[in-house]
Amino acid sequence: MNLIIDVGNSFVKLAVYSKNKLIFKEIVEIDKILEYIISIKNKYNKLTNAIISSVGRLRKDDIKVINQLFDLLVLDSRTKLPFKNLYKTPNTLGVDRIALVCASVNQYPKNNVLVIDAGTCITYDFINTKNEYLGGAISPGLRMRYKGLNNLTATLPLLDTKTPNNIIGNSTEESIHSGVVNGVLKEIDGVIKEYEQKYSDLTVILTGGDANFLSKQLKSSIFANSNFLLEGLNFILKFNSNS
């Protein structure tokens, strides 16, 4: 059994896998991570291996405690990976992006795969049929766009995410919703279209916190999978345990 620890900017996703089956998942605040991990350890006595993927701030003392509880793998640029990394700056490649690519290698081997992670940022990651990771793109996510309009202007309000009623906003609030949401949708559909023009047999995966909100409104053919990153981390842990 494997414990997956995905540390984001504000919260931590904890998951337990028995082989390839997800049997537990919880989202917790970062300052409560040890409390939850100890509780999970007590609940699943066959839980021996763990992996940490951290784009947020996880204290070294917390990592030391976790390392005492499990056979721990901390994912970074030096971790052995099941693909050829052609990124020009591999040391700067986010561990979340690495995990997503690994999930695509595991589930869609020898395919052209574009993984779109719609979270704080929207990341695009592409791996080809030769198992070569070529890179992708990073752009602001939905909430970042809403906050940017509010923070960088004098009068525009901060709004909750909402599907716009019309492409033409007839009030300031509706104009913001139209600009932000339709802007993201047009961006994603446009990026997918460009990849499809170059790779006709493209598989597209949409994941991340905003995946469910966006998937219903996209025109492109996609597979939505909210657990794709966790599945990638579980695969990395198994890949390194068997190597």
* Residues classed as catalytic: 96
Q: Is 56 annotated among the ligand-binding residues? A: no
DSSP three-state, residue 59:
coil
Residues in the chain: 243
Q: Is 55 annotated among the ligand-binding residues? A: no
Q: Is 105 annotated among the ligand-binding residues? A: no
Q: Is 71 annotated among the ligand-binding residues? A: no
Q: Is 62 annotated among the ligand-binding residues? A: no
Q: Is 13 annotated among the ligand-binding residues? A: yes
Write the DSSP string, 148-215. Answer: HHHHTSSSPPP------S-SS-SSHHHHHHIIIIIHHHHHHHHHHHHHHHH-TTEEEEEESTTHHHHH
Q: Is 20 annotated among the ligand-binding residues? A: no
Residue 82's CB is within 10 A of a number of other CB atoms, namely: 16
Distance CA 39, CA 238 (A): 23
**In what side-by-side order are the strands of the sheet with 11-18?**
21-29, 11-18, 2-7, 49-54, 71-74
Q: Is 201 annotated among the ligand-binding residues? A: no
Give the tokens for residue 87.
């990124």
Q: Is 145 annotated among the ligand-binding residues? A: no
Q: Is 172 annotated among the ligand-binding residues? A: yes
Distance CA 136, CA 139 (A): 10
Q: Which residues are annotated as a binding site for substrate?
A: 87, 94-97, 172
Q: Which residues are annotated as a binding site for K(+)?
A: 117
Q: Which residues are annotated as a binding site for ATP?
A: 6-13, 120
Q: Which residues are annotated as a binding site?
A: 6-13, 87, 94-97, 117, 120, 172
